[in-house]
Amino acid sequence: MYYGFYVRTTMHYSIRPQASNTRLNPFQCILASIITVALKSMFMKCGELKRIYAVSKIDFMIWIVSFACTAFIDVMEGLAISILFALFTVICRSQWPKWQFFFESTQEEQDGDKQSSNPDVCVFRFDGPLLFTNVERFKKGLKRTMDSWMNTWDNGSTGKKVENSDKESSPKRPDTLFKEDSLHSLIIDCSAMAYCDYMAATAFNEVAKDCKDKGGILYIAEALRSALEASGFFKKIEKENVFPTLKDALAIANRNGSALRLLREAKKEQQANQQNSHAPSIAGTSSASLPPTPSSPIVRLSPSMNKK
């Protein structure tokens, strides 16, 4: 007895229509229309490029790269390239974040009050997380801020706002850092610092020590208190100098500066009044300086003249 297996073969489904000269697949124009409708939302966003460019140039570049790669290469490859390009922009922005500073017109910009501007208050803002990769940029930016701020005291320039000033040349720092007749306050706005590492906390300690040695006051707005406390920052700066918002820090700095100016003006006025009270009068000075007036002479006749 012999054993065997049944073998059965059949033609592929697509071979039969081809052999019979028939087409069961949808027409190519219908397939193209389906793809066009699916990509309609992407083409409609071309009208938003002008607004995207005005808001963020980096987002504009990401959109252009994603659209070009998806349209001219392939969907999967374009998606992968766009993701890699977006990650590259994030790395660049964290490595070289923008920084800005403004002084004298700070309160004017906040409240719209031109009479409340204070040239003795400077605000420094660092737009990005403070890490070991950009901590040197933070220090250089803060140094240039101090140089520009102190340069205005001698030149008497108006309020200034600078964004991402990366030029190598910086204004010459005056010989004396802080004037004795005013209270200078430096405010570091940390609202854009999502997180910071140990190197960042060490940089804050160096800034606090330098500002204290120069006779100024350092205020921190919207900082990560846990990281600062762990690094020993509050051993150099009191916790009262750390505020939850920038507006609170500006209010306290302006209040302390105004109070100090009023006290010094009152002290000067008191000293002037004391000098005026101890000054000798004009009549007393003239009588003491002039010699005594001689009395009228008395004429006496000699005895010989009396006999005559």
pLDDT in tens, 38-87: 777 777 888 888 888 888 899 999 999 988 998 888 878 988 999 999 99
Q: What is the pLDDT of residue 82?
A: 92
CA-closest candidate to residue 207, choices 166, 146, 152, 147: 146
Residue with the two structure tokens 């980096």: 58
Q: What is the pLDDT of residue 116?
A: 43
Name, in order, each residue with C-beta under 8 angstroms of 225's C-beta and a sequence gap of 6 or more: 242
% of the chain exceeding 70 in pLDDT: 65
Q: What is the pLDDT of residue 62?
A: 92
Strand 98-103 versus strand 160-163 pairing type:
antiparallel
Max mean pLDDT range (29-43, 168-182, 245-259)? 245-259
CA-closest candidate to residue 201, choices 188, 182, 217, 185: 188
Residue type, 29: C
Sign of CA dihedral 246, 249, 255, 259: negative
5 pLDDT exceeds 80? no
Q: What is the mean pLDDT of residues 139-159?
A: 72
What are the tens digits of pLDDT across the range 117-148? Answer: 567 788 999 888 888 888 888 988 888 888 88
Q: What is the pLDDT of residue 114?
A: 44
Q: What is the pLDDT of residue 8?
A: 55
Kindly report the pTM of this predicted structure: 0.60
CA-closest candidate to residue 61, choices 82, 92, 40, 91: 82
What are the tens digits of pLDDT across the range 207-232? Answer: 888 888 877 888 888 887 777 777 67
CA-closest candidate to residue 149, choices 111, 187, 114: 187
User: What token pair was written down for 94?
Assistant: 């964290």
Which domains, and CATH codes, for the chain? 36-94 (no CATH), 96-260 (3.30.750.24)
SS3 263: helix
Whole-number Å distance between alpha carbons of 40 and 38: 6
| Model confidence band, residue 266 (pLDDT cutoffs 50, 70, 90) | confident
Whole-number Å distance between alpha carbons of 225 and 239: 9
| Model confidence band, residue 238 (pLDDT cutoffs 50, 70, 90) | confident
Give me the chain's average pLDDT, please.
Answer: 72
98 pLDDT exceeds 50? yes
